[in-house]
Amino acid sequence: MVSNSSRLVAAGLLVLSASPFGPAYARSPTSGTTITLRRQWAGPPSQIACTGACTRGTNLNVTVWKDGRITYDANPARVSVEEAAGFSKILLPFRPVGKDATADPSKLSADFCPVKVQWPADGRGGRPVICGTYNEARDSLFKAVKEALRTVRLNIATSQMF
């Protein structure tokens, strides 16, 4: 015979697993911070055929969760919780706020957003997103992305874990 307390515990676990902060949500890609890099055309606008180095950048998808889980191009990996926190801390100054925080220019064309960061869904209708380019300026999004990826031991030049 099953006691009432056992039923309450089972019901509580069921409710927790279905809640937005339960185990299913914790494994969801939208609960992690995602970096998406896409190759960008670097040739002149009028050039139809490529005769040299016409693209820059790389193609890479990385999601990092608070618990240290990572997927990069669908490959699972793990880092420490401290490394995952360092990753998030580096990107935090770039997190957009306000009514347009979830607007995603890459939905129109990937060329508008070769460097993209999406933060976990905040419960207000989407994931905050910011787009950038392969700008090497000291305070650029791209520089922050490279630094954040190094904290989780990912080298974007080869898309391999260090």
> pLDDT tens, 85-132?
999 999 999 999 888 888 888 888 767 789 999 999 877 668 999 999
The pair of three-digit structure tokens given for residue 80, joined into one six-digit string: 């420490």
- Taking only Cα atoms into account, the Rg of the chain, rounded to an integer number of angstroms, comes to 19
Q: Strand 69-72 relative to strand 60-64: parallel, antiparallel, unpaired?
A: antiparallel
Query: With 90 as the cut, is the pLDDT of residue 53 above it?
Result: no
| % helix, strand, coil for the chain, step of 5 | 35, 20, 45
Domain boundaries, the chain: 1-29, 32-161
pTM listed for this prediction: 0.73
Residue 118 main-chain phi, psi, to 5 deg: -120, 130
The angle at the Cα of 108, spanning 159 to 74, to the nearest 5 degrees, equals 25
Q: Quick one: pLDDT at residue 92? A: 96
Question: Distance between CA 115 and CA 18 in Å, rounded?
Answer: 33
Q: Quick one: pLDDT at residue 18? A: 39
- pLDDT band for 148, please (50, 70, 90 cuts): very high
Q: Quick one: pLDDT at residue 83? A: 97
Whether the CB-CB separation of 118 and 129 falls below 8 Å is answered with yes
